[in-house]
Amino acid sequence: MARFVVRFVTDWDPTRALTYIANFENAHEWDPSVATSTRRDQGPLHVGSTFDLAVRFAGRTVPLQYELTELSDTRAVLCATTSSFESCDTVSVATNGGRTELTYDAQLSLRGWWRVFNPLLAIAFARLAERAAVGIRRAIA
Would you state the pLDDT for residue 80?
Answer: 95
Q: Rounded distance, CA 71 to CA 92, Å?
A: 10
CATH number at residue 75: 3.30.530.20
- Do residues 30 and 138 lie in contact, with contact meaning Cβ atoms separated by under 8 Å? yes
Q: Which helix (H) or strand (E) segment is 28 a member of? A: helix 27-30
Could you tell me if 67 and 49 are in contact, meaning their C-beta atoms sit under 8 angstroms apart?
yes
% of the chain with per-residue pLDDT over 70: 89
Is residue 42 very low, low, confident or very high in pLDDT (cuts 50, 70, 90)? very high
Contact at 8 Å (CB) between 95 and 14? Answer: yes
Confidence tier at 126 by pLDDT (50, 70, 90): low
**Average pLDDT of every residue of the chain:** 88
| Secondary structure letter of residue 98 according to DSSP | T
Per-residue pLDDT, averaged over 32-53, amounts to 95
pLDDT band at 132 (very low <50, low <70, confident <90, very high): confident
At residue 23, what are phi and psi to the nearest 5 degrees? -80, 90
End-to-end alpha-carbon separation of the chain, Å? 30
Length of the chain: 141
Confidence of residue 115 (pLDDT cuts 50, 70, 90): low
State which residues form the domain around 39.
Answer: 2-139
Instruction: Give the total number of structural domains in the chain.
Output: 1
Residue-wise pLDDT tens digits, 62-105: 899 999 999 999 999 999 998 877 999 999 999 988 899 999 99
Cα separation values, 49 from 18, 37, 58, 66, 127, Å: 15, 13, 28, 8, 28
pLDDT over 70 (residue 13)? yes
Give, in degrees to the nearest 5, the angle at Cα 58 between 118 and 138: 95
